A and B are shown apart, each in its own frame.
Chain A
Amino acid sequence: MDISGAYDSILYDIAGGFSLLVLLLAGIVCIVWDIFENDEPVLPFVAAMACVVGIVWEVRNLDAGSSTVFYDSIRAYGLASYINITILLSALATVILSVPYLKRIKHGYGEVYALIVFATAGAVMMGTANSLVTVFVGLETMSISLYILAGLVRRDEGGIESALKYFLLGAFSTGFFLYGIALLYGATGTMYLPEMASGFIERGELTLLFWAGIALFFVGFLFKVSAVPFHMWTPDVYQGAPTPLTGYMSTASKAAAFAALVLVLYYGLAPMPVAAWQTALAVVALVTMVLGNLLALVQNNAKRMLAYSSIAHAGYVLVALTAGTSQGYAGAVYYLLIYSLMNIGAFGVMALLEWDDKEGRLQTIDSLAGIGFRKPLLGVAMGVFMFSLIGFPPFGGFFGKVAVFAPAIEAGYTWLAIAGVLASALSGYYYLRVLYVFWMRTEEQADPAVRARAFPVSFSSAAVVVTCALVLLVIGFIPYVRDLTQIYFDASVFATMP
């Protein structure tokens, strides 16, 4: 093997993976800076700037044709840019929301921002991966950062529970994932997704080894996106972790995992007979939607409720993946962007309305009675997020749900789409209950501790929450975003589709 020309295309590679490299650089800057100036207040700014630079770079490349860089390790431009924007927006919002929150709970360590940035780098790598090795390395970088961040508040047993459960179950599911990758490699002889597809077209047969690999691989993925029956960890982990970081887990990490799943399904597995895993995904999507929504109904704690709601939303995305058409994948990535915006906003509001000094894991929704009148900005923003999460027109969530359910109907999964719509109707109860408590109860019904508390809202946090709400109000009326997601997926790769 001659390697004299190995780095000839390095400039092109750097341009393609620019946002990833900027994140890595910013993370290392944060850590080194923190060595010399402990908990330097500029560090969150460095982290946020890295996200902003990444977003600006990726926005410029949204329309560019998709290609691969770093020896086909990751994808760049086009779809990859879109996914990176989704992840980076969640990361940016998380960094900004974390600063006042962590200062309040006295955990504003410099390392936290470095870890958020590294987790984002892992998410970006995973969400744009073109080979199974890259998926795995990105997944691990993201997960290990998140295990640490979940256990940030070490004095609280809820934080410890959260971190330990996340770590143990995450490591366990990683085992499944890795076995799946190993078997897939054994069956196909390649780690690269497009080669997997072309190899199948050449050979035209799938061994039992391949099916075992796919099954294990999907189990690993479904764990990461917290689909039923692999959802058990989600409520406990979300409840005990610091609230803005919970928002990060439910948006950036989920978006990255789903994006990687879409890439695997679209680039790697599309020409294969998809019916087998379509049925499996349909069943998982159904139970995820139903169980997620039913369990969310009975929660008294806002973070736990949002955790079950995020399980339900994973089910909605799985409906789009079940369809297995280019429309379905386009709908899924479109939904991921909208879902990220509304969830990061909802967790942001809950972070600002936290009063129990236990990362919000003990306070009930009812304790915040009438808070909308005291904090109208947060109350109205929460209204937008809740209506959007239900999927109520004209908010973004409605357009997102149309984008995920319509392809399922076209692909013949009408029953699944109907189940999804019914489940969304059910979700109205628990989302609207938050608004009922916020706006239709009087302040006198609130917990005395809530009445005594001022809930200061810094300008930066308010800006993030309001921006998320405004974007959700208008995003459905910007056809550009929806059209963009559709041109990324080419229907012609589905050779065996009827």
Chain B
Amino acid sequence: MLAESLFILLGTVSVVAALGMLIARNPVTSALWLILTLFCVAGLYLTLSAEFIAVVQVLVYAGAIMVLFLFVIMLLNLGALPQLEKMDWKKALGFVLCVIVLSQLVFIVATSLQLMPATATVAEDAGAATTIAKTLFTRHMLDFEMIGVLLLVATVGALMLAKRKFA
């Protein structure tokens, strides 16, 4: 199964990248790991034939938000960060083992309680931009307009708090 192997590949890479983000010493490295994770998640969306969400994921997260992160990191004084001790590999190994055992336990408990979600069949065009647009501008038009207002509020508020002079 191509889809299944793709899922396993993308899923593993995204989890590894997420771990890499957590344990990376350098914030810039950490941010780059995060980008890899986000790309893999976008790939997962593609395997679910949700092209639109995949594209948005890359554009918004990997593009806009990550650039913002990197800018903030660059403005910080990285030299002032505390020097960390050397990593204890025994502890790291113990942690990995714990995670594996825990996930096995959760899996067993979840299957025995029948908590595992049934595999849903996704319609072919469920993730296409046309489908999303049709629902967004009809069923959810009020929500859509309101989110526009929400963004306006956030922008105006940020500008007001930042730009108004201290009285």
Contact = CB atoms under 8 A, between A and B. Distances in A.
Given A3-B134, A24-B149, A114-B156, A148 B161 contact: yes
Q: Chain B: interface residue count, which band?
A: 20 to 34
Interface residues of A, number: 40
A209 B161 CA distance: 41
A74 interface: yes
B167 A107 contact: yes
Given A27-B149, A155-B166, A17 B138 contact: no
Nearest to A110: B160
A141 B149 contact: yes
Contact of A145 (B141, B153, B166): B153
A115 B150 CA distance: 10
Contacts of A137: 143, 146-147, 150
Contacts of B161: 148, 151, 154
A172 interface: no
Interface in B117-167: 117, 131, 134-135, 137-143, 145-147, 149-150, 152-154, 156-158, 160-161, 164, 166-167
B115 interface: yes
Given A3-B134, A24-B145, A122-B146, A73 B140 contact: yes
A121 B140 contact: no
Interface string A104-137: 0111010100110010011001000000011001
B80 interface: no
B156 A70 contact: no
B143 A111 contact: no
A9 B142 CA distance: 14
A467 to B, nearest CB: 29
Contacts of B157: 111, 115, 144-145, 147-148
B81 interface: no
A141 B145 CA distance: 11
Contacts of B166: 154-155
A141 B146 contact: yes
B128 to A, nearest CB: 11
Given A105-B167, A209-B117, 12 more contacts: A24-B149, A31-B152, A107-B167, A115-B153, A122-B149, A133-B140, A133-B143, A137-B147, A138-B146, A147-B157, A148-B158, A154-B161
15 contacts: A27-B149, A71-B139, A71-B140, A71-B141, A73-B140, A106-B167, A111-B160, A118-B153, A122-B146, A147-B157, A148-B160, A148-B161, A154-B161, A155-B166, A209-B117
